Amino acid sequence: MTNRTAFVTGGSRGIGLACARALADAGARVVLAARDTAKLEAASAAIPGSSWVAIDMASHESIKAAFAQAGKVDILVNNAAIAKDGLAVRMKKDDWDAVLAANLTGAFLAIQQVLQAMMKERWGRIINISSVVGESGNPGQANYVASKAGLIGLTKSLAQEMGSRNITVNAITPGFVETDMTAALSQERKDNLLGYIPLKRFGKPEDVAAAVRFLASEEAGYITGHVLAVNGGMYM
């Protein structure tokens, strides 16, 4: 990946930070993007040769400004996401709109920022981080699940549009991964979830990062429109 620039949203922590490290280790110049500038600065300092830009995935203007600052992007990892859980019968429209705006619309707008340069270069890698619940559904997460299922549909449509330009578009569906989001779960909930995972453990951010690194590589050049499950077997 030498001479390739990778842009990772949600890159200041968790899965995004692990992806940034893996891509940097593979030789890419990495740009970390997230909202928390203090965390971004600290994360970037730990990855030699990386840089960072502030981004709000719910703001079109912020997205455009961040990509303008980053310059040409060869590899885009759409990882940033928020959750505002609640049963559908009581879900506020604002919570629906916020999650779809950040997780799905934001990802689409980020993709739009990189397509022209990728088409001109006739090379590009777009990797959308969806979720196992985007395939299986999950009660209490109608907005989050809809956004993650939407990413899968977006991936497949763009793969068909961009294939002739040698731009691959793939999605990864992580299962339950040890991050800040899962750390908030009760032990009872964790034990219950492990019962559904054949590998009998939660994933690590590095498990997802390894899949991202592969899909971004030259070796994955004949893979597009694919949904790669990294979930320990909990959904097949």
Check whether 21 has a pLDDT greater than 80. Answer: yes
Check whether 181 has a pLDDT greater than 70. Answer: no
Q: What pLDDT, on the 0 to 100 scale, is given for residue 182?
A: 74
**CB distance 108 to 154 below 8 Å:** yes
Work out the mean pLDDT of the chain and round it to a whole number: 96
Q: What pLDDT, on the 0 to 100 scale, is given for residue 83?
A: 95
Strand intervals (E) in 17-56 = 29-34, 51-54
Q: Please, which pLDDT band fits residue 152 given cuts at 50, 70 and 90? A: very high
The rounded percent of the chain whose pLDDT value lies above 90 is 94
Q: What pLDDT, on the 0 to 100 scale, is given for residue 85?
A: 96
**Residue that has been written with the tokens 């990294």 in this structure:** 230
Q: How many CA atoms lie within 13 A of 90 on its CB side?
A: 6
- For 187-218, the pLDDT digits (tens) are 898 899 899 999 999 999 999 999 999 999 99
Residue type, position 32, single letter: L
User: What number is the average pLDDT over the span 142-162?
Assistant: 98
CA distances from 126 to 96, 97, 118, 227 (A): 25, 24, 10, 12
Burial 80-93 (b: 16+ CB within 10 A, else e): bbbbbeeeeeebee
**CB distance 195 to 159 below 8 Å:** no
Q: Which of the residues are catalytic?
A: 144
Check whether 137 has a pLDDT greater than 90. Answer: yes
CA–CA gap between residue 43 and residue 11 (Å, rounded): 8
Q: What pLDDT, on the 0 to 100 scale, is given for residue 183?
A: 79
- For 64-112, the pLDDT digits (tens) are 999 999 999 999 999 999 999 999 999 999 999 999 999 999 999 999 9
List domains and CATH numbers for the chain: 5-230 (3.40.50.720)
The rounded percent of the chain whose pLDDT value lies above 70 is 100
